[in-house]
C-alpha cells in the first residue's frame, strides 16, 4: 500500500486543531468554533484566531456564522494524525497490556513525536488493522478511510440482534464500566427491551443480561445481524 506521500510538518497545536475539526465535522455539517473550543478546552477567542490563521494557510474553510471545514490539504493532515493516534492506541492494547480506558491520554502524547517509519512498523506489527480498540476506523496509509455507519443501540427495537461495532465514548470511567460488562466491539447481542421515555436498554449477551442507561447506550454503535 502506498503511503500518503510527503506532507508538511505541523506543530502539535495545529495538528490538534485539524484533528478536532475532523472529528466534529461531516459532509453534512461543519464544526462550530464553540464546539472546537469545548473539545480543545480553549477560549472561543483563541479558537477564532487560530481558525483564521489556518484558513489563511489553506488548511480550513471558514464560513462566517456557519462553521469550519477541512480543505483537501487539511483533511490529509488530519487523517495522518488520526491514523497515528489510533495505531498507537491499538499497539498499546495489543502489545503493552494497556486497557482501552487508558490509551487515549498516552496516544495524545505519542502521536506528535513519532516518525512515519515508526508508525508504519507499528501498523505492520499489528497486521494493518482497520479499526482501533474502540472500533474507530484507522485511516489507511494512502489516506483513505472507511467510515462506519453504525446505528446507536437506542434505535434498535426489542427482539433485534446485532453486533457492537464501535464504542463512541471517550470518558475513561465510562469505558472502564463498559469493559467490565464485556461490552466491546465484536460482541453479539439481542435487544430484550427498550424502555420508553429515554429509559434503560436491556440486552442479552453471551455473558448474561446487561442493562444500560439511555445516554450511555446512545454511544454504542451497532450493526444489525441481517445487515452484515
Domain boundaries, the chain: 1-147, 151-227
Contacts of 171 by beta carbon, 8 Å cutoff, 6+ apart: none
- Whether 228 shows a pLDDT value over 90: the answer reads no
Percent of the chain residues topping a pLDDT of 90 = 87
pLDDT of residue 8: 61
Distance of alpha carbon 110 from alpha carbon 81, whole angstroms: 11
pLDDT of residue 226: 67
- Whether 104 shows a pLDDT value over 80: the answer reads yes
- Whether 109 shows a pLDDT value over 80: the answer reads yes
Q: Domain 1-147, what architecture?
A: Orthogonal Bundle (1.10)
Q: How far apart are the first and last CA of the chain?
A: 26
pLDDT of residue 182: 97
pLDDT of residue 9: 74
Contact 71, 60 (CB under 8 A): yes
Gyration radius of the chain over CA positions: 19
- Whether 133 shows a pLDDT value over 90: the answer reads yes
Contacts of 164 by beta carbon, 8 Å cutoff, 6+ apart: 135, 153, 183, 184, 185, 186, 187, 189, 220, 221, 222
- Whether 5 shows a pLDDT value over 70: the answer reads no
Q: What is the mean pLDDT of the chain?
A: 92
- Whether 114 shows a pLDDT value over 50: the answer reads yes
DSSP 14-83: HHHHHHHHHHH--SS-PBPHHHHHHHHT--HHHHHHHHHHHHHTTSEEEETTTEEEE-HHHHHHHHHHHH
pLDDT of residue 61: 95
- The phi and psi torsions of 184 (rounded to 5 degrees) equal -125, 160
Question: Is 38 exposed, middle or buried (CB count within 10 Å of its CB: 0-12, 13-18, 19+)?
Answer: middle
Q: Domain 151-227, what architecture?
A: Roll (2.30)
Contact 21, 38 (CB under 8 A): no
Q: What is the pLDDT of residues 173-214, one digit of tens each?
A: 999 999 999 999 999 999 999 999 999 999 999 999 999 999
Q: What is the pLDDT of residues 23-32, one digit of tens each?
A: 999 878 999 9
Task: Please compute the mean of the pLDDT values over residues 75-91 and round it to a whole number.
Answer: 96
Specify the range with the lowest mean pLDDT, choosing from 61-65, 78-82, 119-123: 61-65
Amino acid at each position: 500500500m502506498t503511503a500518503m506521500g510527503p506532507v508538511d510538518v505541523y506543530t502539535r497545536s495545529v495538528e490538534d486543531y485539524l484533528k478536532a475539526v475532523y472529528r466534529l465535522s461531516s459532509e453534512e455539517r461543519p464544526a462550530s468554533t464553540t464546539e472546537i473550543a469545548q473539545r480543545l478546552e480553549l477560549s472561543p477567542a483563541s479558537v477564532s484566531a487560530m481558525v483564521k490563521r489556518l484558513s489563511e494557510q489553506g488548511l480550513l474553510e471558514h464560513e462566517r456564522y456557519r462553521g469550519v471545514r477541512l480543505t483537501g490539504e487539511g483533511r490529509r493532515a488530519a487523517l495522518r494524525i488520526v491514523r497515528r493516534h489510533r495505531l498507537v492506541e491499538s499497539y498499546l492494547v495489543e502489545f503493552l497490556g494497556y486497557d482501552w480506558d487508558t490509551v487515549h491520554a498516552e496516544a495524545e502524547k505519542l502521536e506528535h513525536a513519532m516518525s512515519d517509519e515508526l508508525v508504519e512498523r507499528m501498523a505492520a506489527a499489528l497486521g494493518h488493522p482497520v479499526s482501533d480498540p474502540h472500533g474507530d476506523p484507522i485511516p489507511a496509509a494512502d489516506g483513505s478511510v472507511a467510515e462506519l455507519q453504525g446505528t446507536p443501540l437506542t434505535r434498535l427495537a426489542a427482539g433485534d440482534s446485532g453486533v457492537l461495532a464501535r464504542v463512541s465514548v471517550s470518558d475513561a470511567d465510562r469505558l472502564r464500566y463498559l469493559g467490565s460488562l464485556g461490552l466491546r466491539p465484536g460482541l453479539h447481542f439481542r435487544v430484550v427491551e427498550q424502555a420508553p421515555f429515554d429509559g434503560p436498554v436491556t440486552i442479552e449477551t453471551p455473558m448474561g443480561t446487561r442493562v444500560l442507561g439511555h445516554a450511555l447506550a446512545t454511544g454504542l454503535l451497532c450493526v444489525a445481524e441481517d445487515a452484515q
